[in-house]
Structure 1
Amino acid sequence: MDNKFYNNLTVSSSPHLVTSLDTSKTMLMVLIALAPAFIMSVVVFGIRAIILTAVCVVACAFFEWAYNKLMKKPNTVGDLSACVTGVILAMNLPSNFPYWMAIIGCFVAIVIVKCLFGGLGRNIANPAIVGRIVLLLSFTTQMTTWPVPRQAQTDATTGATALGVLAEVVKGKANVSDLPSNADLFLGFVGGSMGEVSALAILIGGCFLIWKKIISPAIPVSFIAAVFVFSLIYYGVKGGDASALHMAIFHVCAGGVMFGAFFCATDYVTSPIMTKSRIIYGILCGVITMIIRLFASYPEGVSFAILFMNMCTPLLDDFVIKRTYGGAKKNEK
């Protein structure tokens, strides 16, 4: 056979894609989907949101470029994955978060979680999620000091998030009437991290990703549904001043459930590939989130739930694949 035939063959690792959609185009779609939440964070928190996001994006891109340069590897900044990590990490921070601390989170996300494990496609956990958790554990005060939205008529510059107020209600230090309305949570006029201020903006971006077939609806739908059902059952049994339905909607719209479900839990590398395992993965993310919210000392559990399930992803896929297609049986002697 003609040697030209063999010369045209390129041997590379999977996945083998025959499509016009490559990594950079996929990441560009994700950046477009993040735009509504970013715009809403600017409306709510002002120019500080723009600067913090820019710092995170530049830092992530620089760390990836510098690592590749130092290790004499091909430059991969052009695939935009570092930019996506920077935006997602920024969206998980308070807009008043110190820039130098944010840069540390970017270093953890890009160098430690992504590059040291081999780069894009080889990280064992979502880089932005790990970066956020490291910042939360290292700089707890700064990570839990939330700026008051510009629209709020108050002399204070910082205040509690919706979940923070709920924690005070549970302790008897606040009333149910002090909770922000579900309408405000959905539209986005509450305090919190930049990516959790508007459930509507996040939903628009998430639907865009599903429409473009960038992500599967299995994970976000099962994640959000699990949070809703768990809350509905818990508050239905417990009772209280607020109805179970009201509190179920509250838990879906408050905190990072919507953002985590659409933009963090759906990470290609760290989420399952089988539809059934994706549904199980999403449900467990929601259940763990609610267990942390309702029974732990920390009012939010989305990041920890996603990180834990990232570790379980290979086990879920292995379990579902064997249940679906069977597996090799040991030879009996």
Structure 2
Amino acid sequence: MKLLVKDAPHIRSNDSVRKIMIDVLIALLPAVIGAAIFFGWYALFLCAIGAVVAELVEWFIVRVLRKQKDFMPDLSAAVTGLLLAMNLPPTAPWWLLLIGILVAISVAKQAFGGIGQNIFNPALVGRVFLLISFPTLMTRWINPVQFFSTTPWDAISSATPLGILKQQGFSKAISAFSYTDLFLGNIGGCIGETSTLLLIIGFLYLWYRGRVNPVIPASYIGTVFLFASVMYFVNPEKFGSPLFHILTGGLFLGALFMATDMVTSPMTLRGQAIFGLGCGITTMVIRYFAGYPEGVSLAILLMNAVTPLIDRAFKPRVFGEVKS
């Protein structure tokens, strides 16, 4: 009997990609339920078909086009489809979601070789593609509606808090929405981004399960808070309060569930802190000085591109080597 010794590290784990993705889906469930309460059954419908169709698209690409007969779905596509649906306005037609899923799965994920190989977060690539291609459909907002409303278009059209801040100033924005509404999610916005409370509950579950750590979210949200605090003292009416900025838009959805993507974020803790810092600064620069009132998606994608450089700059020391 031969004893085969392989290279270190000798680590055994019962974890799998499927188990991790199941935990992510469970963590997103509170925000999905909140979306159904705030925006009606159609929001729930979009979330459901987003997850299902994304799995079907990935299965077709891998099994039929790439002819990988041993492929077993790991639910990572379902997470991508669900996150993309949560990043759409409640008025988005179903076919718009399908286009976004095709781009996210085929271009942003499978074109790079599948899970673990993609450079950019697939859901954000799909969202930005839709925002550029269909700007009108991607910026049609409504006030919260009842669950049994027949269609989301029965609701009254509205602007998001960040949109009001951009166009009419902070006084108008804060008079239209209380901080309680901003925290609970009783405001207009994308399907899954409005409720800070429900997103935090989901993230705490992931943290408890050991799937994520709080370095990137803390660095990201903390940077946004500090940046907004400085600008608030410069011109409070134009730039808005720091609390307003962290409770509005897609900051918590992006910081908690997309910037923390294991594949597209740095591996070391120092690198993750730099990643969150870059996301926060870029987000606020876009919000304050660009034409678009929100900057989370673009900020995370930009930092995804920088992730390899961050990993190289902050790679851990190798112990036991002899310096030449």
TM-score, scaled relative to structure 2 = 0.90
Corresponding residue pairs, total: 315
What is the identity, as a one-letter code, of the residue corresponding to 1:316?
I
Structure 2 match to 1:306: 300
CA drift at 1:157: 2.7
Contact 1:162–1:180 under 8 Å retained in 2 = yes
| Matching residue of 1:250 | 244
Q: Which residue of 2 aligns with 1:37?
A: 31
Change (3 A) 1:209 1:194: same
Q: Judging changes above 3 Å, is the alpha-carbon distance between structure 1 residues 192 and 285 closer, same or farther for their aligned structure 2 residues?
A: same
SS at match of 2:136: helix
Q: Deviations 1:3-55 (Å, cap 9, x if unpaired)? A: xx66xx999xx998621121111000001100111010000011001111122
AA of the residue aligned to 2:74: D
AA aligned opposite 2:91 = N
Give the match for residue 158 of structure 2: 159
Match of 1:217 among 214, 218, 230: 214
CA distance in 2, matches of 1:10, 1:103: 45
The question of 1:127 aligning with 2:126 is answered no
1:90 aligned to which of 50, 73, 85: 85
Q: 1:159 to 1:238 in 2, by over 3 A?
A: same
Say if 1:227 and 1:58 are closer, same or farther in 2 by CA, change over 3 A: same
Deviation at 1:239, TM superposition (A): 3.6
> What are the superposed Cα offsets for residues 257-293 of structure 1, whole Å, 9 maximum, x if unpaired?
0000010000010000000010010011011000000
Q: 1 CA distance for matches of 2:125 and 2:9?
A: 25
Q: Is the 8 A contact 1:65 1:75 kept in 2?
A: no
Query: 1:178, CA displacement in angstroms?
Result: 3.7
Matched, 1:56 2:55: no
Q: What are the Cα deviations for residues 277-331 of structure 1, in whole angstroms up to 9, with x where unaligned?
A: 1001001101100000011100000000000000000101111127x569x9xx9
Q: Note if contact 1:147-1:158 (Cα within 8 Å) is conserved in structure 2.
A: yes
Partner amino acid, structure 2, of 1:125: F
In 2, Cα distance between equivalents of 1:308 and 1:264:
13
What is the RMSD of the two structures over their aligned residues, measured on CA atoms? 2.7
Name the structure 1 match of 2:150. Answer: none
Alpha-carbon spacing, 1:59–1:207, altered in 2? closer, same or farther (3 Å): same
- Which runs of no fewer than 5 residues in structure 2 stay unpaired? 147-153
| Cα distance change, pair 178–74 in 1 and its aligned pair in 2 (3 A) | farther
- By how many angstroms is 1:76 displaced? 4.3
Structure 1 unpaired stretches of 5+: none
8 Å contact 1:60–1:85 — kept in the other structure?
Answer: yes
In 2: Cα distance, 1:261 partner to 1:130 partner: 16
Map of 1:161-310 to 2, 5 A cutoff?
161-170=160-169, 175-240=172-237, 247-310=241-304
Q: Conserved in 2, the CA contact under 8 Å of 1:64 and 1:76? A: no
In structure 2, the CA distance between the partners of 1:17 and 1:88, relative to structure 1 (3 Å rule), is farther
CA distance in 2, matches of 1:316, 1:195: 30
Look up the SS of the partner of 2:89 in the other structure: coil
Whether contact under 8 Å (2:118, 2:264) holds in the other structure is: yes
AA aligned opposite 1:67: I
Runs of 4+ in 1 over 6 A off after TM superposition: none
156 and 62 in structure 1: CA distance in 2 versus 1, 3 angstrom threshold: closer
The CA distance in 2 between the partners of 1:17 and 1:254, in whole Å, is 42
1:28 corresponds to which letter in structure 2?
I
Check conservation: 1:222, 1:282, Cα contact below 8 A.
Answer: yes
2:140, 2:73 → 1: CA distance?
Answer: 34
Which amino acid in 2 is paired with 1:278?
Q
